[in-house]
């Protein structure tokens, strides 16, 4: 026991020396170093993984601040006001779905027409045997489109690059990700997605659509942009972190629904993958938003059947309707289904591992500046164009099947399964069918059923190898990008290959094997099961595929979990975002939160009636975002006793200083004095920094009554509670600060042991503070 105490003292001493040399943690001002060893602050940019500068991240106040103003506002609300508040929530959910559906429509329309006219021009050059001219034309158009997307991201909105899903996941977990949901970010995301996908890069628009939906929700919730915001009273009620979280959850669900036309899948994606906190009322509103998206997209598809959408035709949305396909499988089919699941888990984890290495390489390249990011993106575009255009020339031409009914071979129109490319009359090029087309059409072609002899093994191997390489090197460049489509294309390739091998021994169509392969690789990489199963069910519109799809997903996720985390967790770690996992590590039960509080700096407390000068000094000398408010009372026969009144937020102290709500005497403020100066809406917003406040010397000697602004019901725990139990409570309730109270009370016992924050409960930070736990951590990791 004595040795453990000595180790603890040495650890605290060493950490104190490091704190004097390094920048303090912006959230808790603790002795811990940040999550990333080479970054002293946390990233606010999705390009942090590819070398951009980082800045401080704060946590979000999801907890209801039950101070006097909140209670008064809640008591004085009439029934009509309550109904109006609920109505506005549903109205915002409707507008989120409507705008997400309309913007998705415009994105699909633009991509299909830009990419379609580009490919038609290339095909004309090939038909005239002007192969070099076709190559130069295709490469030039692709590089121009890529250049537009990357310039917008690099110079105007760096946060628009990447998928945006990890940042949304972190935000809904309680981590503030600045500049992620602004109007500039949304517009750059829209235009950049159109340019990047139209350029033929190996990325999809599904991830960006989730981010776009979240941006729409955030802008609606706060009444517009920061500079041009609607100041209507009922809009300002949603300017708090708690309501904004719910609206952004609706936006993320709508984005997934818009990408796959899967309303239930969108809701389940938010529940399973991105949302940390959930309730039944939020479930209804997210489902309502996704239902509106589906109605808008359905109306759009019906309108485009009239031919008024240019080259859009039947494409533009990843749809694979196999409701009319007869799905029959027997016990022997469980063998290839199990093999597909195992392959998906192994390849998914391998893909995550290699992508992690590539992203670290991009850190070194992009650290050289904006020009390096643009050149890297253009290099990837040039390599992609060369491979997509050149590889079909090495594939042999295949004669059309004369017995095929209702099939146009070779395809000379806009879309189809039998691209002529450079083949003679009556022949087609199967590799060109997969490569020289839009990404959505490529999915539709490789998923097609009743096309047993359409693709050769050689072409599928080339297709699989190419998209594995492109998928690794395309993600992470400075353009909006999604992971869904590249993984679908890779998985469908090996799924169809296995279907060709099992042809004589199975009754399942090769196209359905491709669907199962895509599902397995997505589960092996992203580690989703329930939402992914429903998305594929809504995608295929065939309930008979449900049992085997469920089996494939369960096997793939189980195998993948044995090797490494999901791709989104890897990206969160790369960006240094302090994400709290759902399950605590087993070794966290061996230490208490009292031990964590002991190695933190001395706790800073404020009196219930505090001097202005003291408040200014505390705000200037610390970076804490909350302070314990302690009252000293005289108890007969006991003496002077200290009791905790609650917690006051830094933002509320700044608001007091800005509005100069000072008292000349040391007294409690009257209730009417508080309501005359503040409203509950004012307390829900953030109010700058201490540098923005000017306080005179005379005002420094005045007083502030903190009792009306103090949260009297903060979540508290006893110092003997284990870190594992505290982590579960902290995450599930959505806390920002957890007040630690002593085990016993008395005149000589401090009323508060400490305040724990998100940074204190991150596993990496705890291991740095307690090195002796590293061995236990290493032995307990695994499948």
Q: How far apart are CA 216 and CA 210, in angstroms?
A: 10
Region 135-161: what's the mean pLDDT?
Answer: 94
Q: Do residues 629 and 776 both lie within one domain?
A: yes
Q: Residue 744 belongs to what domain range?
A: 586-781
Q: Do residues 466 and 426 both lie within one domain?
A: yes
Q: Do residues 389 and 509 both lie within one domain?
A: yes
Residue 203's nearest CA partner among 460, 479, 466 is 479
Residue 57's nearest CA partner among 47, 45, 73, 69 is 45
Q: Do residues 566 and 591 both lie within one domain?
A: no
**777 falls within a domain:** yes
Q: Do residues 450 and 545 both lie within one domain?
A: yes
| Per-chain mean pLDDT for the chain | 83
Q: Do residues 674 and 767 both lie within one domain?
A: yes
- Counting residues of the chain whose pLDDT is more than 70, the rounded percentage is 85
Q: Do residues 694 and 757 both lie within one domain?
A: yes
What tokens were used for 730?
Answer: 């902290």
Q: Do residues 390 and 486 both lie within one domain?
A: yes
Q: Do residues 718 and 646 both lie within one domain?
A: yes
Does the CA dihedral 655-661-665-669 come out positive or negative? Answer: negative
Q: Which residue has the higher pLDDT, 409 or 781?
A: 409
**Where are any strands of DSSP class E within 688-746?**
703-705, 716-718, 738-741
pLDDT single digits (tens) 228-277: 766 666 676 777 888 889 999 999 999 999 988 889 999 999 999 899 88
Rg of the chain over all Cα atoms, to the nearest angstrom:
29
3-state helix, strand, coil in the chain (%, to 5): 60, 5, 35
Region 364-371: what's the mean pLDDT?
Answer: 88
Q: Do residues 426 and 449 both lie within one domain?
A: yes
Q: Do residues 348 and 377 both lie within one domain?
A: yes
**156 falls within a domain:** no
**Lowest mean pLDDT: which of 86-100, 413-427, 490-504?**
413-427
**7 falls within a domain:** no
Q: How many residues does the chain have?
A: 783
**189 falls within a domain:** no
The number of distinct structural domains making up the chain is 2
Region 286-303: what's the mean pLDDT?
Answer: 91
What band does 776 get if pLDDT is binned at 50, 70 and 90?
low
> Is the peptide bond between 410 and the residue preceding it cis, with omega within 30 degrees of 0?
yes
pLDDT at 30 over 60: no
Query: Which of 553, 575, 597 is the endpoint of a domain?
Result: 575
CATH number at residue 600: 3.10.580.10
Query: Which of 543, 575, 607 is the endpoint of a domain?
Result: 575
Q: How far apart are CA 301 and CA 322, in angstroms?
A: 18
Q: How far apart are CA 212 and CA 208, in angstroms?
A: 6
**82 falls within a domain:** no
**253 falls within a domain:** no
- Counting other chains too, the contacts that 272-276 makes at CB distance below 8 Å and 24 or more residues apart are 272/528, 272/529, 272/530, 272/531, 273/165, 273/169, 273/526, 273/528, 273/531, 273/568, 274/165, 274/168, 274/169, 274/172, 274/249, 275/172, 275/249, 276/172, 276/173, 276/174, 276/580, 276/582, 276/731, 276/734
- The per-residue pLDDT for 503 is 76
Query: Which of 540, 575, 610 is the endpoint of a domain?
Result: 575
**Where are any strands of DSSP class E within 539-623?**
605-607, 609-611
Residue 218's nearest CA partner among 389, 382, 133, 99 is 99
What tokens were used for 670?
Answer: 């009257």
CATH number at residue 567: 1.10.3080.10
- Counting residues of the chain whose pLDDT is more than 90, the rounded percentage is 39
pLDDT at 62 over 50: yes
**606 falls within a domain:** yes
Chain centroid to Cα 107, Å, comes to 21
- The per-residue pLDDT for 23 is 37
**Lowest mean pLDDT: which of 17-21, 292-296, 376-380, 522-526?**
17-21
**743 falls within a domain:** yes
Its pTM stands at 0.86
Region 20-43: what's the mean pLDDT?
Answer: 35
751: helix, strand or coil: coil
Q: Do residues 404 and 513 both lie within one domain?
A: yes
- The per-residue pLDDT for 79 is 84
Strand 716-718 versus strand 738-741 pairing type = parallel
What tokens were used for 562?
Answer: 């044995």
């Amino acid at each position: 026991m004595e040795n453990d105490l000595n180790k603890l003292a040495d650890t605290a001493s060493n950490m104190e020396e490091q704190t004097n040399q390094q920048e303090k943690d912006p959230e808790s001002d603790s002795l811990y170093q940040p999550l990333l060893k080479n970054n002293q602050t946390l990233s606010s940019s999705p390009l942090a993984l590819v070398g951009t500068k980082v800045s401080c991240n704060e946590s979000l106040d999801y907890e209801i601040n039950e101070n006097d103003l909140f209670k008064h506002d809640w008591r004085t609300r009439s029934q009509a006001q309550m109904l109006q508040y609920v109505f506005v929530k549903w109205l915002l959910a409707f507008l989120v779905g409507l705008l997400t559906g309309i913007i998705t429509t415009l994105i699909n329309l633009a991509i299909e027409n830009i990419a379609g006219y580009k490919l038609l021009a290339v095909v004309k050059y090939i038909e005239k045997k002007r192969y070099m001219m076709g190559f130069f034309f295709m490469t030039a158009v692709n590089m121009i489109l890529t250049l537009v997307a990357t310039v917008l991201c690099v110079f105007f909105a760096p946060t628009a690059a990447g998928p945006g899903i990890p940042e949304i996941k972190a935000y809904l977990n309680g981590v503030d990700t600045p500049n992620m949901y602004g109007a500039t970010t949304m517009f750059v995301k829209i235009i950049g997605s159109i340019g990047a996908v139209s350029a033929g890069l190996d990325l999809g628009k599904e991830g960006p659509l989730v981010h776009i939906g979240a941006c729409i929700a955030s802008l609606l919730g706060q009444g517009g942009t920061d500079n041009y915001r609607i100041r209507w009273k009922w809009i300002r009620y949603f300017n708090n972190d708690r309501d904004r979280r719910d609206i952004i959850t609706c936006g993320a669900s709508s984005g997934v629904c818009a990408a796959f036309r899967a309303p239930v899948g969108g809701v389940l994606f938010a529940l399973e993958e991105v949302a940390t906190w959930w309730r039944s009322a939020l479930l209804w509103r997210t489902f309502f938003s996704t239902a509106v998206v589906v109605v808008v997209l359905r109306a759009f598809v019906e309108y485009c059947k009239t031919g008024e959408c240019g080259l859009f035709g039947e494409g533009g949305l990843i749809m694979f309707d196999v409701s009319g396909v007869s799905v029959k499988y027997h016990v022997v089919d469980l063998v290839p289904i199990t093999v597909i699941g195992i392959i998906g888990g192994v390849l998914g984890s391998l893909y995550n591992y290699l992508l992690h290495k590539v992203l670290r390489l991009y850190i070194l390249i992009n650290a050289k500046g904006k020009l390096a990011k643009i050149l890297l993106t253009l290099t990837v575009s040039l390599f992609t164009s060369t491979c997509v255009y050149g590889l079909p020339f090495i594939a042999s031409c295949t004669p059309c099947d004369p017995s095929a009914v209702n099939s146009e071979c070779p395809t000379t129109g806009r879309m189809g399964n039998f691209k002529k490319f450079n083949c003679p009359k009556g022949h087609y090029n199967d590799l060109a069918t997969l490569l020289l087309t839009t990404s959505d059409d490529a999915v539709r072609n490789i998923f097609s059923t009743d096309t047993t002899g359409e693709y050769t093994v050689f072409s599928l191997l080339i297709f699989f190898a190419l998209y594995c390489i492109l998928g690794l090197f395309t993600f992470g460049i400075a353009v909006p990008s999604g992971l869904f489509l590249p993984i679908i294309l890779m998985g469908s390739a090996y799924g169809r290959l296995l279907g060709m091998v099992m042809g004589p021994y199975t009754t399942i169509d090769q196209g359905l094997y491709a669907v199962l392969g895509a599902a397995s690789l997505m589960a092996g990489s992203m580690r989703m099961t329930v939402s992914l199963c429903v998305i594929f069910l809504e995608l295929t519109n065939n309930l008979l595929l449900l049992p085997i799809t469920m089996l494939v997903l369960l096997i793939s996720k189980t195998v993948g979990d044995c090797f490494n985390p999901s791709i989104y967790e890897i990206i969160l770690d790369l960006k240094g975002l302090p994400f709290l996992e759902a399950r605590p590590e087993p070794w966290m039960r061996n230490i208490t939160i009292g031990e964590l509080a002991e190695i933190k700096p001395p706790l800073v407390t404020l009196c219930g009636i505090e001097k202005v000068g003291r408040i200014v000094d505390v705000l200037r000398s610390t970076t804490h975002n909350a302070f314990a408010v302690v009252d000293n009372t005289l108890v007969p026969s006991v003496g002077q006793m200290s009791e905790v009144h609650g917690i006051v937020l830094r933002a509320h102290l700044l608001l007091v200083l800005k509005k100069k709500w000072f008292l000349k005497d040391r007294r409690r403020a009257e209730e009417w004095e508080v309501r005359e100066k503040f409203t509950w809406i004012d307390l829900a917003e953030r109010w700058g920094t201490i540098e923005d406040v000017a306080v005179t010397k005379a005002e420094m000697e005045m007083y502030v009554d903190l009792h009306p602004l103090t949260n009297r019901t903060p979540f508290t725990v006893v110092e003997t509670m284990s870190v594992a139990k505290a982590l579960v409570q902290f995450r599930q309730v959505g806390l920002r600060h957890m007040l630690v109270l002593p085990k016993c009370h008395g005149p000589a016992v401090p009323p508060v042991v400490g305040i724990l924050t998100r940074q204190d409960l991150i596993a990496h930070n705890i291991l740095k503070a307690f090195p002796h736990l590293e061995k236990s951590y290493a032995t307990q990791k695994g499948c």
